[in-house]
Structure 1
Amino acid sequence: MNSSSTAHPLPPVAFRQDASLIGLVGLAHLISHFSQLLLAPLFPWLKDAFNASYAELGFLMTVFFVTSCAVQATSGFVVDRFGPRPVLFAGLTLLGIAAFGYAASTSYWMLAFFAVVAGVGNGVFHPVDYTLLNRKVSAPRLGHAYSVHGITGSLGWALAPAMMVSIAFAFSWRVALASAGVLAFAVLAVLWFQRERLSLPAAPRPVSGGSAQPTENPMAFMQIPAVWMCFGFFFFYAMALSVVQAFAPVAAGQLHGVPLALVAVCLTTYMLCAAGGMVLGGFLASDPARCERVVGVGFGLAAGVALVLALGDVPAAAVPVLFGAMGFTSGIAGPSRDLLVKKSTPENATGRVYGVVYSGLDIGQAIAPLIFGVLMDQGQFRGVLLGLALVQLVLIASAFNVRRVRRTVVVPVAST
């Protein structure tokens, strides 16, 4: 089998059909990212309600991402076996149950249990989403599909703190989390009524009835070097994202005397500008041959901005602007980043490959706080931003290394 998934181009598809599928998948992806940040904005309330330390509350996020990583690495096999739609519905259901579970929790360990439930639900989305997009969206619109997918994820991250904090102030943290559960089930209802647009048979399975029909080894894709290079790329991508989300705004604020109100604006500016960059990135990804160059330029510029924040004499008012620039350039690379994986994916193994590759995201998000949190505790704010720039430069090397190792691979098969 060829390692490329472009051996059989998709026939032309009506714009409305593509757009509706992209919109539905994007809506589900928004809820996935939204659910990742349900607890963190409520830490001040949860700390008092459960008499827990910030370290204990942070451990809930580790539980979530470790569980999501394990599920993501295995759920791709389920997607390839049974099709993406039932797995998607199960994931959304679990996220809704977890949100209501958080709201009803009476102890720290109840929160931890529902963090596991939420991690299981979150772990299915990337294998589901990319299987639907890669197999149902027409090739000329695939770059735009990746763009919308990334934008909706960023919007989910932006929505969570705004919604959770606002409702917690107006009512209580329990009402805020219950509202998140209502939102998850509302989206599930929308997708249920549009379920025919999400229908997709399971990946074809080789016939094993005779010696002339060997059975493909379902683990053979793991022997493709480019798959593991993609895994490494997403590991470092998640580290960079985690630093931006958790530490970089505060570190830059400490270095440049930024008022607390402006520090809070930095992350929102980054996310909104990243969404804008993804729109442009969708057009640049229309030519898969240049995806490594787009990733290289995008993260190269982002690393340059991080270095300016680390080493330059920057006015406080300019810091949010620089975070916006870093978000925009990173966003440009987003759709081409997803094409790196598609170009390395064997036919009929989309769910499995994306499950393994994107588990690198969860591992990176689980490890980065352990490293950069120590730097923050030691007051090494410049080191945090230099580390961010270094990780972004590693992403450039990783992207071109994916291209270097990508080659036509004869996938081993198991005898029948």
Structure 2
Amino acid sequence: MTTLNPASNPWHDDATVIGLVGIAHASSHFSQLLLPLMFPVFISTFGLSYSELGFLMTVFFAVSGIGQAAAGFVVDRLGARPVLFVSLLVMAAGCMAVSVANSYAGLMLGAALLGLGNCALHPVDFTILNQKVSAPRLGYAFSAHGLTGNLGWALAPVFMVGLSAAFDWRMAYVGAALLFVGIFALLFWQREHLHAEVLLHKQTVSEGSTLDFLRIPVVWWCFSFFLLSTMTLSVVQSFSVSILQAMHQVTFEAATLTLTAYMLCAAAGMFLGGFVAARWPSHSDKVVATCMATGALFMALCGSGLLGGNLTMVILAATGLAIGVGGPSRDMMIRKATPKGATGRVYGIVYSGLDTGSAISPLIFGMLMDHGWYGATLLGAAFVLLLSVLLALGVGRRIVHA
């Protein structure tokens, strides 16, 4: 079960496609941090609790998850490129909605628009990569894809905090909207490199009709893996700054820098993981399981309270490195579970697990944060990540027997 892609392309052509798709992916990850980074500001401006703030992210990821499952079908039927262009403009509109918000309802509208814009990026990206990039370079393409996503996460704190300090938080969201418009202009200019064929009408999914791929157990194992593994990432994104301040009394700037370091380490891990995925493509499930288990151990150490503030920040950043190394192998694992002609649909369903986990996580761990159980929040995130190890190994066994 695999998708069609060219056997050989000039390196320049593959690099161009990978770069443009990487920029789009970075914008998606950038959008995911736009709200959590301003949580302290929203608390002082609107008087919100952690549970209310967590619900903003639930709105974002609920819209994104539902939309992502549907977007996979839209991508398969209409093509990836037009969906990509619309997504970027919707994310810009979401930023503008937050910039003028005067109430919690206004923030929720912005969250919903940002989630709607974010929803199609994974089906779009992987449809283009699987069609346009040469088969021998797909491991490196998935590595670059994950790396640019993490760079988008790493850019968000610097961009938003910097503009907020120079102007105010509302102008920071206006700046983010202009950034999305600029990315749209760049990709529209280079649109010929992003053209992907609509394969749904040219070939038949080997398992049967349009929806029959939903009966394949490994698809739902992949979905569940994404749900659990992403719950841990959501804790880091939404609450790590507040946890570090509460547990170790570090400054807001130092805690924010730790979040950036986590994302940069994850990006470095993605880079290394590309070589790992290319070297051991047949053992992708075992690579993923090993990386997630290591990340769970590091996260548990951070939540134990046994480490001082400085060492906790270092270990938390190293957690990003461990998880990042497994990223390209994770994408290879999903690719092996994908039937022909169903790339958009399978990636849409599977990656909606990412959004589902991100929607559930703030509700659960936000309640722990409201009770002041900061260490328990990290320990819970570590336990959930450890459960994803079992799912990764289960995916591997089901691919072998498919």
Structure 1-normalised TM-score?
A: 0.89
Q: Which whole-Å CA distance do the structure 1 matches of 2:310 and 2:23 have between them? A: 34
Q: Which whole-Å CA distance do the structure 2 matches of 1:383 and 1:178 have between them? A: 36
Q: Which whole-Å CA distance do the structure 1 matches of 2:261 and 2:345 have between them? A: 34
Q: Which whole-Å CA distance do the structure 1 matches of 2:56 and 2:222 have between them? A: 27
Superimposed CA distance per residue, residues 46-86 of structure 1 (whole angstroms, 9 cap, x where no aligned partner)? 45555655544443322221111110011100100111001
Cα deviation for residue 296 of structure 1 reads 1.7
Answer yes or no: is 1:305 the counterpart of 2:302: no
Contact 1:204/1:348, CA 8 A, preserved across alignment? yes
Answer yes or no: is 1:383 the counterpart of 2:383: no
Cα RMSD of the aligned pairs, angstroms, is 2.5
Partner of 1:183: 179
Answer yes or no: is 1:324 the counterpart of 2:331: no
Partner of 1:236: 228
Cα deviation for residue 10 of structure 1 reads 2.4
Deviating more after overlay: 45-54 vs 58-67: 45-54
Q: Against the structure 1 CA distance between its residues 36 and 215, is the aligned structure 2 distance closer, same or farther, given a 3 Å change threshold?
A: closer
Superimposed CA distance per residue, residues 126-148 of structure 1 (whole angstroms, 9 cap, x where no aligned partner)? 10001111111112211111111
- Give the fraction of aligned pairs with identical amino acids, expressed as a percent: 46
Contact 1:252/1:309, CA 8 A, preserved across alignment? no
Out of 217, 241, 257, which is 1:265 matched to?
257
Q: Against the structure 1 CA distance between its residues 150 and 172, is the aligned structure 2 distance closer, same or farther, given a 3 Å change threshold?
A: same
Amino acid at match of 1:305: F
- Give the match's secondary structure for 1:345: coil
Amino acid at match of 2:183: V
Answer yes or no: is 1:284 the counterpart of 2:276: yes
> When the two structures are aligned, how many residues end up with a matched partner?
401
Structure 2-normalised TM-score?
A: 0.92
Out of 144, 152, 158, which is 2:154 matched to?
158
Q: Against the structure 1 CA distance between its residues 206 and 21, is the aligned structure 2 distance closer, same or farther, given a 3 Å change threshold?
A: closer
Matches within 5 A, 1:212-231: 216-231=208-223
Answer yes or no: is 1:17 the counterpart of 2:13: yes
Amino acid at match of 1:381: Y
Contact 1:277/1:329, CA 8 A, preserved across alignment? yes
Q: Against the structure 1 CA distance between its residues 207 and 302, is the aligned structure 2 distance closer, same or farther, given a 3 Å change threshold?
A: closer
5+ long unaligned stretches in structure 2: none
Q: Against the structure 1 CA distance between its residues 276 and 55, is the aligned structure 2 distance closer, same or farther, given a 3 Å change threshold?
A: same
Q: Against the structure 1 CA distance between its residues 261 and 181, is the aligned structure 2 distance closer, same or farther, given a 3 Å change threshold?
A: closer
Amino acid at match of 2:306: D
Partner of 2:2: 5
Q: Which whole-Å CA distance do the structure 2 matches of 1:108 and 1:254 have between them? A: 25
Larger Rg: 1
Cα deviation for residue 168 of structure 1 reads 2.0
Partner of 2:106: 110
5+ long unaligned stretches in structure 1: 209-213, 410-416
Cα deviation for residue 119 of structure 1 reads 1.7
Superimposed CA distance per residue, residues 197-249 of structure 1 (whole angstroms, 9 cap, x where no aligned partner)? 001121142589xxxxx994100110111100000000011111012223346
Q: Which whole-Å CA distance do the structure 1 matches of 2:31 and 2:315 have between them? A: 28
